[in-house]
Amino acid sequence: MEKLKYQKLVNDTTPKPKKMKHSLIAFISGGLLGAICEILKLILVNVYDMKITDASSIIIFILVIVACFMTAFFDFDKWVIKFKAGLIVPITGFAHSIQSSALDYKKDGLITGLGANFFKLAGSVILYGIVSAFIFCLIKVVFYG
Amino acid sequence: MASFIYKDLYINNFYSIAGKNENNGILKNVNKYINDFYYGEKTIEDSEIKMQKEVLNNLINTKTDLIVGGDLMNQITATSSSNVNNNISFLGVYNACATFVESMIIISNFINGKSIKEGISITSSHNLASEKQFRFPIEYGAQKPSYTTFTTTGSVGCVLSKNKSNIKIKGSTIGSIVDMGIKDANNMGAVMAPAAVKTLKEHLDYTKTSVNDYDIILTGDLGSYGTKLFKILLKEDYNINIKNHIDAGSIIYKKEQEKYSGGSGPVCLPLILFNNILQNKKYKKILAIATGSLHSPMLVNQKHSIPSIAHLISLEVTNDNNI
């Protein structure tokens, strides 16, 4: 069979991912996680008299700690497969990616293993996060003062 | 094309170790199962080396002249490390999931050419070690498409010589590298199916046989989607209708284990061959085609298409007493 014909055959026979179903699961699971965080925030603001900005920071802090803890001691990877991007898009995914790289490379030494591979997956998030933040700040300063 | 026919060449002994997931599958009479991925070692790499060492310890004897083998780890270090200081000549080979049959063919030709008398072929793979090597960190749990395969954990070795036994090696064909321009490293079935078809056709032409002359044609790890393509290609290119085909990767796990489209890895084919097909008295004439997807994560990231290879070995069980 010719190359192009074969590639077309492969394209036609390979099952397509169920994007609609996955997005719906992610929408619901991510929404639930967001709702839990919102309730926590309201508790912090109303019961402990915190400022809203402080409460948000503390929530992020809690999410990171919980995600790292779950990755290290429980099956967070299996939950991610089940609940899709709903668990990855919040800061939990970022913490989880760092924690999983760290677990993989901890035996390869502190410098050559853990240190070098710590941001293996999260590195692009940090880099492009900083770059896009810089560009948007530039636009804001130039056009809106 | 290099095909060979051997007159008196036999598999004298084999030993296999399989992992926890494989234990829950369809394998029978595996010599040993390991219940956790670490096998009492500190790292997953060490556990793969330990598995291979154990297989070798059970197979090496005073007559062993040569060991040929390979695995999926970087620079085939698991096989090299497991052969340290055993004072036996060693050749390391790599053809991804076709490594085991490749090493069997090398030893067969050495024995057939009377260069050596007895050789051991060995391979191993470890699910977590190859996840770390080829894909994402283990605990990351990346989303995978349903057509991807799950690397089998285990180690298998076998002893080949001219001493008579009931498993005879009749012939072999060394495959050539085929690249059909598939770039998706998750879709290894589609990458490897054309190579399997090509090698099978070359062997049938060389031996002047047809697929119906064999009781079973066993492919390595095409997975359920690759199997579909394998059959379509055979039908369209050579007008061969294949009914006696089994794919080791597709059957190694049960459906409820949810391992995507099946198992893969160099141990997938030998585990099924030795612990399922050869234990079944129904199968006398066996063609085993090991397929390998020769990609590296680096070249896949650079958008190269993935080359693949398939090696074939033809076996015949001569009497009813299986070893």
> For B8-29, what is the mean pLDDT?
90
**Owner of token pair 């060995």:** B122
Rounded Cα–Cα distance for residues B21 and B152 (Å):
8
Q: How confident is the model at residue B323 (pLDDT cuts 50, 70, 90)?
A: low
User: Which of B139, B232, B261 is the best substitution to test chain A (most A C-beta atoms within 10 A)?
Assistant: B139
Contact by Cβ (8 Å): B222, B250: yes
The pLDDT of residue A29: 92
Q: How confident is the model at residue B21 (pLDDT cuts 50, 70, 90)?
A: confident
- The DSSP element (H or E) to which B2 belongs, if any, is strand B2-5
Local structure of A32: helix, strand or coil: helix
| Domains defined along chain B, listed by start | 2-161 (3.40.47.40), 167-317 (3.40.47.40)
Contacts of B68 (CB under 8 A, 6+ apart): B90, B91, B92, B93, B103, B106, B107, B119, B120, B121, B122
Q: Inform me whether the C-beta atom of residue A145 falls under 8 Å from chain B C-beta atoms.
A: no
CA-CA distances (angstroms) from residue B136 to A119, B22, B72, B87?
12, 22, 15, 37
Q: Do B146 and A15 touch (CB under 8 A)?
A: yes
In terms of Cα–Cα distance, which of B37, B28, B243 is closest to B154? B37
The chain-wide mean pLDDT, for chain A, equals 90
Identify the contact set of chain B against chain A, taking CB-CB distances under 8 A: 42-43, 132, 136-141, 143, 145-147, 180-182, 187, 190, 194, 225, 228-229, 232-233, 236-237
In terms of CA atoms, which chain A residue is nearest residue B225? A14
Predicted model pTM:
0.91
Low-confidence ranges of chain A (pLDDT < 70): none
B77 CA to centre of own chain: 18
Contact by Cβ (8 Å): A113, A107: yes
The chain-wide mean pLDDT, for chain B, equals 91
The pLDDT of residue B320: 57
Local structure of B147: helix, strand or coil: coil
Q: Do A13 and B225 touch (CB under 8 A)?
A: yes
